[in-house]
Structure formats: C-alpha cells, structure tokens
Chain A
Amino acid sequence: MDFQLRDERQAEGLEETPATFADSREHLVVVGNGMAGCRAVEELLARDGGRYRVTIFGAEPHVNYNRIMLSPVLAGEKTFDEIVINPRAWYDDNAIDLIVSDPVTAIDRVSQSVTAQSGRKVRYDRLLIATGSDPFIIPVPGKDLPGVITFRDMKDVDTMLAVAGAGGDAVVIGGGLLGLEAAHGLTLRGMKVTVIHLMDTLMERQLDEAAGWLLKSALEARGQTILTGANTAEIYGDGKVEGVRLKDGREIPASLVVMAVGIRPATALALEAGLTVNRGIVVDDHMVTSDPRVLAVGECVEHDGNVYGLVAPLWDMCRSLADGLTERHTGYKGSVTSTKLKVAGLDVFSAGDFSGGDGCEDIVLRDASRGIYKRVVIKDDRVIGAVLYGDTADGGWYFDLLKKGESIADIRDLLIFGQAFASGGGALDPKAAVAALSDDAEICGCNGVTKGQVVASINGGACSLDTVRATCKASASCGSCTGLVESLLALTLGEEVKSGPKTMCKCTSFTHDDVRREIVAQGMRSIPDVMQRLHWSTPDGCSSCRPALNYYLLCALPGEYVDDQQSRFVNERMHANIQKDGTYSVVPRMWGGLTNPRELRAIADVVEKYNAPMVKVTGGQRLDIFGIKGEDLPAVWADLNAAGMVSGHAYGKSLRTVKTCVGSDWCRFGTQDSTGLGVKIERMTWGSWMPHKFKIAASGCPRNCAEATIKDFGVVCVDSGYELHIGGNGGIHVRVTDLLCKVATEQEALDYCAAFTQLYREEARYLERTAPWVERVGLDYVKSRIVEDDVGREALRGRFLYSQSFSQDDPWAERAAGSHAQLHQPLAPLAIAAE
C-alpha cells in the first residue's frame, strides 16, 4: 500500500512537472468547474493571489460559463461565448491547471487524492467540492427514452436546439423557473410547447396564486399550453420518445420531453468519501465539511439546515470560504434570498415569506388590465415578503426593507406604490430611487454585488458600464440590473457621465486624465509609444484618440515632440478651414483686429487672383477668404506673407483671435488702451495649440463692446485697472465668464493671461472648452492656482512662454516655402501599362 501510494505520487509528479518548477505551495484541488467553484477561486485569488496552487476539474468540455444564462442561449438571444464567465486566459493568467471533460469519480481522504474518470490521480492539500446539483428525474416509465432530457448544461441546450430545428411538439415537465424558461426558448425556436405542472400554481415557490395565474394567462396568450395539477404517469414511445401520458389518461404527443422538475444537491461523491451529508454536504460557517481538509460550496452544500438553489447565496458562501482559507474569520450566516427574473419577457419578483399565516398582513395592488400585481407581506410593521408581477422596479427596495427589518409604520399608506411615492418624492426618478438605497442594498442579484461595492468600484476608477462589470461584476450576468448600475454611475460621477463614458474612446479603457498623467509619469514620447504602453486595443487608434494624444504629447514636450500631421484633423493639417465643397477658407491674422491698406490690398489681390467667390468679415474681427482650392493654398499664403500677414489659426484647436474695442486712444468712455493690450496679448499667445479653440477679448470700459465676458479669457478695463474674466462661451450654451480677479497693471494682465492659458493647456481634456472645464474643476480651484499661488502662477507663465518659443513660426510661411508639399499636390500618374 505504502509502495503503491508512493508510486502513484511519482506518476502524478511526472504528469504535473510541465510547470517546470518545484511548487512548494499548498495544492488546492477544485472538483467542479462551475459558477461556485470558479467564484470561490476568484475570491481566494483576490485575497491572496499566490497562496495556493490551484487545479480545477470539470466534467464538461467548457471553461466556466454562466449557467443562469443558458435560457437566453436556448432562446437565441445570446451565444455561448457571451455567457462565458472565465475565459481560458483567466485560467492561464492565474496559473490554474484546468482539466476538462474528466469528472472526478472518487475521493481518497486517507491519501488526500482524487481520481478522475480517465484514471488521472491528483493529490491535494485542500479539496473543494463544488459539484452543484443534479436535475431530478421523476421515476416514471420511459424516462430513459432518447429525446427525454434535462435542462442543466450546454449539452442539453445543444440537444434541444437540434430537435427544435425540425419543429414539432415538445413537452416540458415542470412549471418552475427552469421549466418555463425552457418552454419559452423552445417556443421561440418554433416548437409547439405544452407545460405539465404538478401543482396548481406555476412557480409556486416564487409566486403566490394570483401572480401565478397572471403568469399562466400571459404564457397561454403566447401560444403555450399550460396544464396545472397535471401528474405525469408515463413517457411513451417506440425506441424514442413519442409523447407523455398523464395519470388522468390524457396523452400529449411530443418529440422532445424536457424534465425540469427540480434539482437536488450532487452529493454522491461526498457520500462515498464518508463525509457527513444530510440533504446536502454539511458545512460550517467557512464552508468546511466534516473533514477539515475538505471544503464544499454552492448548491451541493447544506448550511445550518438550509440548501440553496439560487445564485446570490452562492456568492456569500464563496466569500466566507475564501475568508476562511486566508484566516479571516467572518463566517457565512445564511442568506435571505430574493428572485427577480424575466420569464418569457415577463417581469417577476419575489422575496422572503409570502405564504401568509398568523399575524401577517397583506397590502395588495392589482391592475389587471395592465397585468400588474403587487403584494407586500407585513408582520409587526416589518416587511417579511413581497411578490411583484409585471412591474418589478421596486423589488430591490422591498428586499432592502425586508433585510433591514426596520419599521415601515410611517410609510405604510404609500408602501405599495413603491419607493418614489413612499419616500415622498412622487416623481419616478430612477436616480432618486437608487440614491435612497442603503450601501448594503443588493444591486446585482446574480453576482451578489451591493450598492456600496458598485460605488467603491466607480470611485476606484470604473467610469463606464463595461469597467464596472469588469471590476466588481455588477450587471455582468443577466443584465437586469444594468439600469441600476447606470444610475449609480450617474449619481457617483455627477456631470462627467453625461458626456458619455469617460474613457478616451473605444480604443482604450483609460480616461483622458489617466492617459495624460501616464504620458508625463512614464515619459512617453510618441503616439505609438503611448498606444503600446497603455495597451491600445486598435492598431493605430481612431479619429478621436489620435488628435488628443498628439496634443497631449505636444503640450508635454514643447520643442521636442514631432507633431504627427496624420493625427491632425484636416483643418489643422491643411492650415485652413475645409468647406462643404472640399475647398478651403483662409483667414489671415489681424492683430487685435487692426489692419492697414497694404494688408487689405494683398487680400483683395488674392481674392481676384484665385477667384475666391466670397470674402466675409468674421465675428473675430478679421477677413475670411472663401473657396480656395487645396492646391492653391501655398501660393495664397505666399502672397499674404509678402504683405506681412501670418496664419490666423482660424482652423485650429488653438488661440483664435483677440477681439478689441478702440479703447482710450479714441473712445470717449475708454479707461485704458484696450486695443494696445489686445495686440500685446495676441502677440504673446498666437500660435499656441490648445485642448480646444480659445478666444480672447479686451474691452476698454465696462460697456464691454468687445464682448469680453463671453470669451475664454476676457479683460474688461476699468479706471483702477483690469478685470480678468475666464470661462465664457458664446456657442450653443452661452456662458458668461467668471471674474477671476482684478489686477492693477497691464503687465499683470498679460502675466495672468499666460498663466491661465497654460493651466488650461495642461489640465483640460482634449476638446473641452474653458467653460465646461472651469465648471468641472471649479472657479475656486482656478483661483487657487492663478491668483493665490504667486510662485505657481509664475511657473505656469514660464512654461507657457517656453512652449511659445517653439510655436510662433508661421505655418503658412513654412508651407509656402515648400514644406509638406505633398499635402497640397495630387499624385501625377506616370505611365499607363496594359495587361
């Protein structure tokens, strides 16, 4: 015996050596590759990733998938790939040895080893039994005929789909959740379905009689035949199933019979191994069986006399189990369960005890024509049960009240109308309803995720539905809580979520702020560098992220970064504004809106020479020449350069214009030289690339003729100095500026302007104008950086001027001199060859 055992260990050692290193860690062997087993491993990894070497045995040939979602696969709403919970990569990434299609057939607790069907033998330090449950087969004649199946795994679904392809009649035995879902799926697949249910009410464990009746009527309206109080006597057929005979003699023809009468814990393996088993494998609060080296979790266990067949308790168990394995002593205290489901597209919810009895009171709302039924069961002023049919929106709230066990005496009158009314709001604002939930209220029943966990995940950086799903698993299974999660996103992130998910674009899961921070922190130097290091999901980004990355790099590395022309939007690449007919408009810079005869003559000459069909005065106090062809642009620019004019950057996410009024030189109200100041500001800021377009104005008195209070940066001159305004916008949403501060001298006005511009350049997200940026970060924040921090302001100004020393080369002059000529010239066809 001794010898033999050693021998086997050697053989086993050989088999396992491909891991290439001697692994001294304790070996956790998991029997069952289903939702409970894998979730337990996930919980364990989350607590102490490297502690155990893990091997998982699965009877099925698949990775771990969501068994609850077999119904949508049957109904054709999802594919198998979409219901996979742990893809192959998860096993690989966590160095988990997965052995599929090889069920464990025996456990030897003396040698601490398991033997699988193939004869494979593996030794364990800890064993986790997660065998789930077996479908119950009613012992009637014919139960073994071909065409009689259960509804438990992917193989059953494949069988059903194969039979359903030919149409015909199907019988589903069992009018519980599983049976009705099978019936629904088969109906959608084109079969004529009869449901045979032993009890008088469908889903009697989840629904009371009234709701069960509503459900039956609705299903019958969809073409199913529902026979309640029907007892199966026999399944008949010659070599394969042909029909079902009831005890009362009725015969129902069928080419497929699905038995969905219930499940029972799969305990055979544990029984044979001599573990204590009642209805299920008996476990303590940390899921330890009668053998301290053997644990069990999921539907196969019995805890404190209870056996659970729903998914939510399973998650609680897995947490307790992982806590126990990592010496955290919390302990499983049993679960209160609720059921929220969609059966054949009908919403059904139930929770707690709704069987009635002494001291129980019912509050009931019926709206038969709309198919809505609500019943809340109360005992001693506390909610002890609820059944909802047709409208289950308040299910989570009732369940929360039930679990908390607080007195509802104060809201009793309105309780049945739901949370919005009972809480006093009246309006059915889903966000308010979610906001009112307590932190331990369950959001995702499938994965047992509470509101607090979802919020923590959002605060930890998850800012979209997908990232929430990836981080805390809420809404990752059946999806019925998606609306709740979206409301929590909106509540937690506030305004930010309005503009869509905060991730930069579909190419990355990082946000603009993440990307910017990492560019600086990791010293990234090019767009491919960023995409490589931040795991971009596309080969070279998209038209959203490339211009943003180009800007962020340009801003982070003034004078060093080489601008990527192919990541520029057409206008910035062509240094002109594309028009709907593919021609361009050209706007030369007019400093502070001032011009002279030489400039005007040059513009007039260009208009005539290139047949520009229109010239227009812009809102920014300059002239716009329309209808210039792409090929003519360099020549146009050369002519304008010759008269001393440079690009007006009217096409860029950049400084546009500085609008001025005539100021104290001419105006009888003028208090300062606003025109001169405007020209100085424009000379300082022109050519700077920004997150978005940036407009400045300087008005000579509070009459504000230059409209400085709807600009990104505005100066309003007063007798005693200069008021500086920020964050204005005259676009779709007009926003009046906020007053940043007042300064005494023109030089200060210039200095503050430079510092503010640089703060915006460094911290706003690409394509975020100053108005939403100031609203997002708050005026106080901007003041703290620009007004209250003299050293910081001076540093910002210094960085702006340094950056400007590289950006004030006229792009038009470069192009006129021949740079990037290929952007303006078509290819010349050389020769024509025939073949």
Chain B
Amino acid sequence: MIDWIDIGTLADIPQRGARTVKLEGEKEIAVFRTGDDQIFALINECPHKKGPLSQGIVHGHAVACPLHNWNIALKTGEAQGEDKGCTPTIAVKQEHGRILIARPETLQAAA
C-alpha cells in the first residue's frame, strides 16, 4: 500500500521550475515541472554538497544544482556527465488535474 499525498495542481509549479514539499519527519522534497509539463520529484538535496535542487535551473529533464552546477537527471536522480552521485527519487503521478507524490518511507517499504 502506498500513501499518495495530494500536493496541488500543475499550475502551482512554474514551468521549468520547482516547488518544495515539507512532510513531517521527512527530508524536504523538490517537485519539478519541466518544459513539457512532466512532473518529477526528488529529495531536495544534491548528491554533491546537498544543494537545494529546487532552486536550480530546470532544462530538459534535468536540473542544474544552484551551488556547483552539477546536473541531476530528474527521472533517476543520477548526476550527469563526469559527476557521480544519486539523489533519491520520489514516485509521483497526476490524477484529475492533481499532483500526487508517494510518501518516501512507504515507497521504500513497498520496494
């Protein structure tokens, strides 16, 4: 069983941008909206120095970390190019115009 949490609508997140979600007892989550209106969610920490990815420039399906410009793939959380590291991803889905994310711990339990 997965806990799906309604966090708002597409319009709440700027295109090529991100918003954060704070859940009790969880690390902050960054929810991204790409140029083609896809939604991705990652823990809001760059694998490098924990920079807040939600503040990075979103391009294609990647985000450039605001601290040191590492590029992180939104789908996998993997650092791109020469950089190595991975940020945990959060399951996300859109239903009836709402964006739902999976509570991270339940996702891990299910997996």
Contacts and interface: CB of A to CB of B under 8 A. Distances in A.
Interface string B1-40: 1111111100011111101111100001001000110000
B51 interface: yes
Given A540-B60, A830-B6, A832-B6, 6 more contacts: A541-B59, A578-B66, A827-B19, A828-B8, A831-B5, A835-B4
B64 A834 contact: no
A580 B56 contact: no
A345 interface: no
Given A567-B57, A822-B19, A826-B22, A832 B14 contact: no
Given A826-B20, A833-B6, A835-B1, A543 B59 contact: yes
Contacts of B103: 832
A738 B93 CA distance: 59
Contacts of A574: 55
A541 B34 CA distance: 12
Nearest to A543: B64
Given A538-B60, A539-B35, A543-B57, A829 B66 contact: no
Given A538-B59, A542-B59, A830 B8 contact: yes
Contact of B55 (A540, A541, A578): A578
A822 B35 CA distance: 18
A546 B57 contact: yes
Interface string A686-724: 000000000000000000000000000000000000000
- For A570, A827, A835, the residue with the greatest tally of chain B CB atoms inside 10 Å of its CB is A827
Given A573-B55, A835-B1, A829 B7 contact: yes
A570 B69 CA distance: 11
A565 B6 contact: no
Nearest to B59: A542
B81 to A, nearest CB: 10
Nearest to A571: B66
B21 A826 contact: yes
A582 B53 CA distance: 10
A569 B60 contact: no
B100 interface: yes
Contacts of A567: 16, 57
B107 interface: no
A336 B66 CA distance: 57
B31 A570 contact: no
Contacts of A540: 16, 35, 59-60
B100 A833 contact: yes
Contacts of A827: 7-8, 12-13, 19-21, 31
A58 interface: no
Given A539-B35, A540-B35, A570-B56, A829 B14 contact: no
A538 B12 CA distance: 25
A567 B14 CA distance: 12
A547 B69 CA distance: 13
B79 interface: no
Interface of A: 538-543, 546-547, 565-567, 569-570, 573-574, 578, 580, 582, 630, 822-823, 826-835
Nearest to B69: A543
A582 B35 contact: no
Interface in B52-111: 52, 55-60, 64, 66-67, 69, 71, 100, 103
Residue among A570, A834, A835 with the highest chain B CB neighbour number at 10 A: A570
A567 B19 CA distance: 15
Interface of B: 1-8, 12-17, 19-23, 28, 31, 35-36, 49-52, 55-60, 64, 66-67, 69, 71, 100, 103
Nearest to A831: B6
Given A829-B23, A834-B3, A566 B8 contact: no
B55 to A, nearest CB: 4
B39 to A, nearest CB: 12
Contacts of B22: 826
A249 B20 CA distance: 81
A569 B57 contact: yes
B45 to A, nearest CB: 9
Contacts of B35: 539-540
Contacts of B58: 566
A114 to B, nearest CB: 48
A566 B34 CA distance: 11
Among A582, A822, A830, chain B packs the most CB atoms within 10 A around the CB of: A582
B57 A566 contact: yes
Nearest to B31: A827
**In the complex, the 5 A-B pairs of residues with the closest C-beta atoms, listed nearest first:** A543-B64, A570-B66, A543-B57, A566-B16, A540-B35
Contacts of A542: 57, 59-60, 64
Contacts of B69: 543
A832 B102 CA distance: 10
Nearest to B101: A829
Nearest to A546: B57
A826 B18 CA distance: 10
A568 to B, nearest CB: 8
Contacts of A541: 59
A572 to B, nearest CB: 11
Contact of B52 (A543, A573, A582): A582
Nearest to A583: B52
B95 to A, nearest CB: 9
A829 B67 contact: no
A540 B37 CA distance: 12
A547 B57 contact: yes
Nearest to B44: A582
Nearest to B71: A543
A72 B4 CA distance: 53
Contact of B67 (A566, A578, A834): A578
6 contacts: A539-B35, A567-B57, A578-B67, A582-B51, A827-B21, A834-B2
Contacts of B20: 826-827
Contact of B15 (A547, A566, A582, A823): A566
Nearest to B12: A827
Nearest to B52: A582
B6 A834 contact: no
Contacts of B8: 827-828, 830
Contact of B4 (A539, A573, A832): A832
A256 B36 CA distance: 53
A594 to B, nearest CB: 33
Contacts of A831: 5-6
A12 B109 CA distance: 70
Nearest to B23: A829
A500 to B, nearest CB: 15
B14 to A, nearest CB: 6
Contact of A566 (B6, B14, B31, B52): B14
Contacts of B16: 540, 566-567
Given A822-B12, A831-B6, A834-B3, A570 B55 contact: yes
